[in-house]
Amino acid sequence: MKKKTTMNYIINGFTKVYRCGYCDLCDIVTREADYYNCGLYGWNCDIYIDYEHDTAITTGYRNMRGERIPEKILAKYQEEGRTLREDYYNPNKFELKKNLEKRFYAELAGDFQELSRLALLKWGIEHRDDKNKVTA
């Protein structure tokens, strides 16, 4: 369930804050927003939080804060999300969508080691660390 919050809490509470338009994340994110913001004219925006990378993404019509998500990154993940949405007969659809969301947050945060690990998992390849132990 979403909780009401202020933009000051979001700006001061997270190291990275991004913004994008309404429905830009609908094919990428698999969960409900963590917070929402409203003002004099009603609902302003939803806020998705990635606690692992200390990142917040605001998406809506007004009062969105932060740096705009690069269009190249957004378009890449939207296209992959649309492909997953249209793939009706894939039994692993939910796991692939969760992986897509994690890769999106990792790329935004610049965590390229996590991004490469998740990309390997996407293709079903196990990642082996320096001691040859499987870390899936």
pLDDT digits 0-9 by tens, 71-110: 999 999 999 999 888 887 878 888 888 889 988 998 888 8
- The full DSSP string for 63-128 is S--SEEPPHHHHHHHHHHHHHHHH-TT-TTHHHHHHHHHHHHHHHHHT-HHHHHHHHHHHTTPPPB
| Per-residue pLDDT at 61 exceeds 60 | yes
More confident residue, 70 or 88: 70
Distance of CA 61 to the CA centre of its chain: 18
| Per-residue pLDDT at 128 exceeds 60 | no
